[in-house]
Structure 1
Amino acid sequence: MCSLFQHYLTMIGAIVSIPFILTPALCMAEDDPARSHIISTMILVTGIVTLLQTTVGCRLPLVQGGTISFLVPTLAILNLPQWKCPSDDVMNSMTYDDRTELWQVRMRELSGAIAVSALFQVIIGYGGIVGYLLKFITPLTIVPTVSLVGLSLFENAADAASKHWGIAVGTILMLTLYSQILVNVRFPVVTYRKQEGFQIIWFSLFKLFPVLLTIVAMWAICGILTATDVLPPGHPGRADTKLKIISDSPWFRIPYPGQWGIPTVSLSGVLGMLAGVIACTVESISYYPTTSRMCGAPPPPLHAINRGIGMEGLGTVLAGLWGSGNGTNTFGENVGTIGVTKVGSRRVIQWACVLMILQGIVSKFGAIFIIIPEPIVGGIFCVMFGMITAFGLSALQYVNLNSARNLYILGFSLFFPLVLSKWMIKHPDIINTGNDIADSVITVLLSTTILVGGVVGCLLDNIIPGTSEERGLDAWANEMALTVDTPDVDEDTDKEYIRNTFDFPIGMNLLRRWKWTSYLPFSPTYRPRPYPCCRSKKS
C-alpha cells in the first residue's frame, strides 16, 4: 500500500506542471474552470495508458503520462499567425462562449496533430522497426534532441518565476535541499503485515517526494504571505488568486474522447508534433533496460521493446482523442522511485492506475493543482527543465569528448536550433512560398528546436568521418543491446530470472501453437534474425 501511494504521488508530481505552460498558450483565462478539466483529462489518460502498458505493453512497471517533450512543438504550432492569441482588450470584450471557442479550436488542432503523429510511433513499434532506427539514432543525435526540450522552455520558466523572484528562488533552494542535501535522511514509520505483525521501517521521504514536499511547503509560505497581506490583492504569489476555479469546477466530471469537439488535422501540426513523438521514443527506449535492471528482471527482448513503443504510440493517440493537449511518455520520476524503494511490481503500478482514473473523474481534485501560485511553478520549472537538459547531456558519457569532431557536432547541434527558433519567432511571416499550407509546415518545422537539433546532430554524426569508438557507438550498442531471447540467468550474479516475465497474461498457449505468430514483431513468440545494429563484428 505504501509503494502504491509513492508511485501515485510521483505520477501527480510529474503531471501538474504541464498545464501551466499549455493553457496560457491556448488563450485560456487564468480563472477558467476548464483548466481543471484539462489536468483531470491528463490524469485519467495517464491511468488508462499505464494500465494498458503494464498489462499488454512492454509489461515493465513503467508509468506513461504527459510529457514536456510535446510542449516544444505545441508552442511552435500555436505561434503560427492563425493561432496567436488576440490582444487583451479583444479577449476581455468576448463573451464566455466566444472565449471557450477561442481555446477549444486550438485544442482541437493540437488533438488532431498529436493523434495522427503518434501513428508513426505505433508503426515503428508494432512493425518492429525500432532496431533499425537505433542504427542511426546515435548519442550525438540523442543529446540535442532531448537537451533542447529543456533549453527551449527557459523563457516559460523565467516568465513564471519573475512573478515573484523571492518565492521562486525559495522554491529552488527548498527543492535543492530536499532532493540533494537531505536525500538520505530517513523517518521511522510503523507498518503492519499479517505474517510479521507491526514493524518499523525507515522511510526516505525527501528522496521520494522532493517536488511535492517543496510545493506544499512553499504554498504554505504563500498562504502566510496572503493572510498577512504582505502581497497585495491580485498578486500572482498570493494563495487566494485563483480560488474561483475550485468553486466553479464540478465535483464529478467524466472526460471523454472528443470532449472539446472533433479533432482537426493539418499537415503543419502533424509534422511539428512528430518531433515530440521522436524525442519521446528515444527517451523511452533508454528507460527499458534501466527499469529491468532495477526490478531484477531480464533484459527486455525485442518483442517487449516493440510492444512498449507501440503501446506508447497508442497511448498518445488516446491522449489526442481525449483532448489532453499532450502526449504520453515514460516517466523517469517513477523509474527513480523503483530504484529507491526496490519495489518493481506491476501490480503496484496497476493499482496506482486505478487511483489515477478515479481521480481524473473528481474534477475538484484537478482544480487544486491549477491554483498553485505561479512563482512556485516557475521555481519548479527552473529545476525541472535543467534536469531534462542534463538528462540529454548524460548521453555524452558514451562519446569521446576529447574529439574535435564530436565537440563541433555537439556545439553546433545545440546552438543553431536556438538561433533559428528565435529568429523564426521574431519573423513569423518570413516564409512566403505562395502556399499557406507550405508556409505553415516550413515555419513549424524550423521553429521546433528539438526537430532541428536532432536532424542536424544525426546528419553531421553520420556524414563527418569518425570511428565507432570515437562516436560512442560501441558503448551505446552495449547499453542498448536488443536481444531476441530472454536470458535465464543474470551474467553478473548467476541469479535465475523469473521466466516468462514479458509474456502476455493470457493466451500464451494459443500463441505458441500458432507458428505464424513468430513473424509478428510484437508477439512474445517472435523469432527474428538479429538486427544489423545488434550484431557483433565477429558474427
Structure 2
Amino acid sequence: MLRNIEILRSILIHPIIVAPTVAAVGLSFFSYGFPQAGSCVEISVPQILLILIFTLYLRGVSIFGHRFFQIYAVPLSVMIIWTYAFFLTAGGAYDYKGCSPDIPSSNILIDACRKHAYTMTHCRTDVSNAWRTAAWVRIPYPLQWGLPIFHFRTSIIMIFVSLVASVDSVGTYHTASVRINLQPPTPGIVSRGIALEGFCSILAGIWGSGTGSTTLTENVHTINITKVANRRAVQLGAVFLIFFSLIGKVGAILASIPLALAASVLCFTWALVVALGLSTLQYSSQAASFRNIMIVGVSLFLGLSIPAYFQQYQPESSLILPSYFVPYGAASNGPLHTGIKQLDFFINGLLSLNMVVTFLIAFVLENSVPGSRQERGVYIWSRPEDISTDPSLLEDYSLPRKLCRCLCREKHLGV
C-alpha cells in the first residue's frame, strides 16, 4: 500500500504545480520586504545595490581562482553595509533629543519621540541589548520553554503549510539531482527525505526553536554557483552551525543587524525563491502551452489576490504585528462565518496564506485539465532496482552508515 501511495504522489506532483507554489512562497512576503527596508533607505538601498553588483556585474571576477563576489555576495555586502550603519549610529545620525531607542514604542509618552521610534528601531545597530545580556555559552535542552501547547485548529493549518513545504522539497530534490548529474531519486528516496524533514521538525518543537525544518530551495542556487555538492562539506558546515549556536555572543552579533538591513537582504533571497520556483517550468517540454500558462498564471494571481481579500478582515490588534503575522491574525476575524468557531478559524486562516491557496488551485487544475506527460512535465523517477544495482548511486542517496545502523536496514538504503 505504501508503494502505491508513493507512486500516486509522484503522479500528482508535477513542475506545473511546484513552480507557482514555490514562487508564491517568495511573493507572499512582498509586503514585508521593501516596506520594512524603506524605513531606512540610506542603509537598505546600498545593500540591495551592492548585492546586485556582486551577483550580476562582478560575478565573473576571480580572486585566487574563486569567484569571490558571486559566492560571498550576501555575507560580504552585509558586513560592508553593517559597518556603514555602525558608523552612522555611532556618529549620532539616529540620535533624537530626549528619545531613547531602548524604550518600546508602546511605552513612549512623548509624541515627538513616537515619530522617531520606527526609524530608531529599524536603522540603529545598538537597538538590541543582546550583546550585554547574552551568555558566552548556552546549552539548549529539550522542553526548555515548557511543555508544548496543542491547539487543534492551528495544527490543521500547519498541516497544510507542511504539505506546501513538501511540494517545495519534491521540486528541490529533483532539481538538485539534475544540477549534480545524478540519476533522479526514486519515490521512496523522496518520501524518506520528507520524513526526515518531519522528524527534524519534531526535534525543533521539542527544543522550542519556534520554526520547523524543511528543504532550503536557495541551496540549489548555492550548488550551481559553488559547484560543491559534497556530503562531507554539508556535514562540516552543520557542525560549525551547531557549534556557533552554543555561543550566545554570535547570536548577539546577528541581533545587531538593523531591521532595514535584514529586510533588504530578504528582498534578494525571496526574489531568488520566486525565480527558482518559476525555473521549475523548464522540466516541462511545453511550458509555453496555453494550458500551462493558464494554470500557472491563474493559480499564482489568485494565490495572491484571494488572501489579500481575507487579510482585509484582520483584527485591530494585528496592526502592531509584523506583516508576516497578518494571515494568522486574519484567521480569527475573517469574512467566513459558518457558526462553528473552529471551522471559521481554520478556513479563514487557510485562505489567508498565499502559498496554500496557490498550491490548492494549481493542484486541482493540473490534475483535472487534460494534458500529455510532456506538457505536464511529469517528473521522471528512478526505479529502486536501478539504484540498488549501481554502487555509486547507492552511495549518493544512502544515509550515513552510522545513522543507517540505527534507523534502517542495509537493503532499504537505495529505495
Specify the TM-score bucket, using the shorter chain as the normaliser: 0.7 to 0.9
My pick for the range that moved more, 277-286 or 308-317, is: 277-286
Q: Work out the CA distance in 2 between the residues paired with 1:500 and 1:382.
A: 38
Task: Name the counterpart of 2:32.
Answer: 156
- Choose from 346, 350, 357 the match for 1:445: 350
**1:413: how far off?**
0.8
TM-score by length of 2: 0.79
Q: Work out the CA distance in 1 between the residues paired with 2:4 and 2:303.
A: 31
Q: Work out the CA distance in 2 between the residues paired with 1:288 and 1:161.
A: 32
CA 1:498–1:134: 2 relative to 1, 3 Å? closer
Q: Work out the CA distance in 2 between the residues paired with 1:511 and 1:383.
A: 38
**Quick check: 1:143–1:395 contact (8 Å CA) kept in 2?**
yes
Asked if 1:141 is matched to 2:30, the reply is: no
Asked if 1:524 is matched to 2:413, the reply is: yes
TM-score by length of 1: 0.62
SS of the residue 1:135 aligns to: helix
My pick for the range that moved more, 268-277 or 335-344, is: 335-344
- Choose from 216, 220, 237 the match for 1:352: 237
**Quick check: 1:139–1:399 contact (8 Å CA) kept in 2?**
no
* Deviations 1:378-420 (CA, angstroms, capped at 9, x unpaired): 2112111111111211122216354333222222211112222
Q: Work out the CA distance in 2 between the residues paired with 1:358 and 1:488.
A: 38
Instruction: Return the letter of the residue paired with 2:348.
Output: T
CA 1:465–1:486: 2 relative to 1, 3 Å? closer
**Quick check: 1:298–1:488 contact (8 Å CA) kept in 2?**
no
**1:274: how far off?**
2.1
**Quick check: 2:128–2:255 contact (8 Å CA) kept in 1?**
no
Asked if 1:210 is matched to 2:73, the reply is: yes
- Choose from 399, 407, 410 the match for 2:293: 407
Structure 2: any 5+ residue segments left out of the alignment? 102-119, 314-332
- Choose from 485, 489, 501 the match for 2:386: 485
Instruction: Return the letter of the residue paired with 1:485.
Output: D
Instruction: Return the letter of the residue paired with 2:83.
Output: A
Q: Work out the CA distance in 2 between the residues paired with 1:280 and 1:130.
A: 17
Q: Work out the CA distance in 2 between the residues paired with 1:230 and 1:130.
A: 59
* Deviations 1:33-68 (CA, angstroms, capped at 9, x unpaired): xxxxxxxxxxxxxxxxxxxxxxxxxxxxxxxxxxxx
Q: Work out the CA distance in 1 between the residues paired with 2:216 and 2:203.
A: 17
SS of the residue 1:163 aligns to: helix
Task: Name the counterpart of 1:227.
Answer: 90
RMSD: 3.1
CA 1:345–1:472: 2 relative to 1, 3 Å? closer
**1:217: how far off?**
0.9
Instruction: Return the letter of the residue paired with 1:274.
Output: I
Instruction: Return the letter of the residue paired with 1:435.
Output: I
Q: Work out the CA distance in 2 between the residues paired with 1:358 and 1:228.
A: 35
* Deviations 1:123-144 (CA, angstroms, capped at 9, x unpaired): x9x9884442121112222122
SS of the residue 1:229 aligns to: coil
- Choose from 256, 259, 266 the match for 1:371: 256
Q: Work out the CA distance in 1 between the residues paired with 2:264 and 2:35.
A: 10
CA 1:181–1:227: 2 relative to 1, 3 Å? same
Task: Name the counterpart of 2:116.
Answer: none
Q: Work out the CA distance in 1 between the residues paired with 2:170 and 2:146.
A: 33
**Quick check: 2:15–2:171 contact (8 Å CA) kept in 1?**
no
**1:277: how far off?**
1.5
CA 1:265–1:333: 2 relative to 1, 3 Å? same
**Quick check: 1:417–1:452 contact (8 Å CA) kept in 2?**
yes
The alignment covers a number of residue pairs equal to 372
**Quick check: 1:301–1:484 contact (8 Å CA) kept in 2?**
no
* Deviations 1:463-493 (CA, angstroms, capped at 9, x unpaired): 22333333333xxx33x5454431777xxxx
- Choose from 127, 136, 141 the match for 1:256: 141
**Quick check: 1:127–1:306 contact (8 Å CA) kept in 2?**
no
**Quick check: 1:267–1:441 contact (8 Å CA) kept in 2?**
no
CA 1:317–1:143: 2 relative to 1, 3 Å? same
Q: Work out the CA distance in 2 between the residues paired with 1:256 and 1:236.
A: 31
Q: Work out the CA distance in 2 between the residues paired with 1:213 and 1:510.
A: 41
Report percent identity of matched pairs: 29
**1:182: how far off?**
1.2
**Quick check: 2:176–2:220 contact (8 Å CA) kept in 1?**
yes
Structure 1: any 5+ residue segments left out of the alignment? 1-123, 189-201, 490-495, 527-539
* Deviations 1:264-293 (CA, angstroms, capped at 9, x unpaired): 222321222223322222222333344445
Instruction: Return the letter of the residue paired with 2:346.
Output: V
CA 1:405–1:242: 2 relative to 1, 3 Å? same
Q: Work out the CA distance in 1 between the residues paired with 2:303 and 2:69.
A: 37
Task: Name the counterpart of 2:307.
Answer: 421
Instruction: Return the letter of the residue paired with 1:176.
Output: L
**Quick check: 1:219–1:239 contact (8 Å CA) kept in 2?**
no
- Choose from 371, 383, 390 the match for 2:268: 383
CA 1:472–1:342: 2 relative to 1, 3 Å? closer
The within-5 A match list for 1:90-169 is: 129-169=5-45
Instruction: Return the letter of the residue paired with 1:171.
Output: Q
SS of the residue 2:348 aligns to: helix
Q: Work out the CA distance in 1 between the residues paired with 2:406 and 2:212.
A: 34
**1:296: how far off?**
6.2
**1:208: how far off?**
1.8
Instruction: Return the letter of the residue paired with 2:238.
Output: C
SS of the residue 2:12 aligns to: coil
Q: Work out the CA distance in 1 between the residues paired with 2:254 and 2:5.
A: 39
**1:356: how far off?**
1.6
SS of the residue 1:187 aligns to: coil
**1:342: how far off?**
4.0
Instruction: Return the letter of the residue paired with 1:229.
Output: G
